[in-house]
Structure 1
Amino acid sequence: MFGINGAELGILLLVAVVVVGPERLPRYAEQLGGWVRTLRGLLRTAKERVTEELGEDVADVDWASLDPRRYDPRRIVREALLDEPKTVVPAVEATGRRYTTGAARRAAEAAAVAAPPAPDAPAPYDDEAT
């Protein structure tokens, strides 16, 4: 905590007791206890509000796995390589052609958008544009 070991903390507490004096020490200890109780109440209220806002699903989150100190690129790559490959579900277009990847589907959609409309087709109209 703040780079202070146990012996240094003890010395600081002893100096604080000597500086504050025995007549004011109980009042300061009471104030410190009040601050700690207030801080605990604030933290409890914050946790309740987070749970209320995000729902009960937030309780299932493993916060330790999101700790940046546990970030190890070698472990991430190892886990990614050992995972089972995801199966690609082919999509069928209305014309009956099958696309095995999302990239092929997007390329076909882009080609369809880039194609000029038929000469006798009405002009495209976007009712949400204005």
Structure 2
Amino acid sequence: MFDIGFSEVFVIAIVALIVLGPERLPKAARFAGLWVRRARAQWYSVKSELENELADEELKRSLRQAQSDLRDAQAQLRDSGQAMRNEVDELNRRIAAPAGAQGPAEEVPPAQAGATAAEPAAEPPAEAPLPIDDAQAPDPVDHGHAGAALPDYRPRSPSPTSNDERR
């Protein structure tokens, strides 16, 4: 730490022995050891506090970065949602527009290309659903039993009586 070699420590010990004497030297060594321990403990305390502060700063920096990323993602989602709403509104306007009010930019289907303004193109009739008689209705779940009655698998409601009353 202070770059003191063995020879320097030996010289310091000899001088301390001569100055303090053999009676007071152990007491001075304990006192010096106490101060070295306190200094070392203080150094480790400052070091750990500095490391904690650096870790806190790193966490704060990463938290700010995550918040920034979330704000960017939120803005991007908001923009894409608005674009989708605009597309849906445009499609709804196209659907709601009358058939004869098509703009010049829209392509005319080939079936209507030969029609004149006085003679509108005939639209194909919409298919009406066929009525199904209950007797002809197919079984929604066919278990390979054509026309056979299947057991009822509905859960039963609990009995109003308690377990003690059944005994």
TM-score category (smaller protein): 0.3 to 0.5
Structure 1 or 2, whichever has the larger Rg, is: 2
| Relative contact order, higher structure (CA 8 A, sep 6+) | 1
Give TM-score, length-normalised by structure 2: 0.29
Give TM-score, length-normalised by structure 1: 0.37
